[in-house]
């Protein structure tokens, strides 16, 4: 029997599993880009606090979960950037103020269409921007397939061992 793969809005009851998945996804995604020591030191309490802050409030953040038979295996989140640009101090992207701040999926569930479904649930055909590790060629390829392209903005995250990020943007997509 095939597992039931689904995408739905995240709810406060998901915070513990989202924190676990977030850490696992970071360790899988950034292996080779960040040191093993850095990845091993990711603080579970900090991730749990973040997810409580995002979802355990009257107006929760815009986050969607990917589920396998009801168990969270990934997520996508969007936000509106404050004017006049992103919090990092970059000028606003030409795509506007909608940002995909995260899309993570456990490696065991990649290639099943859940990433596409998360992206569709979070953004639909709307114009948006995102930041991605410059050395994460798999993610860059994924976003390129959905109309994103680098706009030339780059950043370095000192707290993440000087990980280099690039910004990708896309215009409004035609409905398919």
85 — pLDDT class (breaks 50, 70, 90)? very low
pLDDT tens for 14-64 read 999 999 999 999 999 999 999 999 999 999 999 999 999 999 999 999 999
Domain, as residue range, for 132: 5-170
Q: What percent of the chain has pLDDT over 70?
A: 93
172 — pLDDT class (breaks 50, 70, 90)? confident
> For the domain that residue 68 is a member of, what is the CATH number?
3.40.630.30
The total number of structural domains that make up the chain = 1
Positive/negative CA dihedral, 51, 57, 62, 66? positive
Q: Is position 175 within any domain?
A: no
pLDDT tens for 149-159 read 999 999 999 99
Distance CA 82, CA 172 (A): 20
Q: Is position 42 within any domain?
A: yes
79 — pLDDT class (breaks 50, 70, 90)? very high
Please calculate the CA angle 110-111-115 and round it to the nearest 5 degrees.
Answer: 65
Q: Is position 176 within any domain?
A: no
Distances in whole angstroms, Cα of residue 83 to Cα of each of 9, 87, 88:
26, 9, 12
């Amino acid at each position: 029997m095939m597992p039931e793969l689904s995408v739905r809005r995240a709810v406060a009851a998901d915070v513990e599993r989202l924190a676990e998945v977030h850490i696992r996804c970071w360790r899988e995604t950034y292996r080779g880009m960040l040191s093993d020591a850095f990845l091993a030191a990711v603080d579970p309490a900090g991730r749990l606090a973040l997810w409580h802050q995002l979802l355990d409030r009257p107006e929760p953040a815009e986050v969607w979960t990917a589920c396998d038979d009801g168990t969270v295996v990934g997520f996508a989140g969007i936000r509106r950037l404050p004017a006049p640009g992103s919090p990092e101090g970059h000028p606003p992207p030409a795509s506007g103020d909608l940002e995909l701040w995260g899309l993570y999926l456990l490696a065991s569930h990649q290639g099943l269409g859940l990433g596409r479904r998360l992206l569709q649930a979070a953004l639909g055909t709307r114009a948006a921007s995102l930041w991605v590790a410059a050395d994460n060629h798999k993610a860059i390829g994924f976003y390129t397939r959905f109309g994103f392209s680098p706009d030339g903005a780059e950043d370095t995250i000192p707290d993440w061992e000087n990980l280099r990020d690039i910004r990708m943007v896309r215009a409004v997509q035609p409905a398919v």
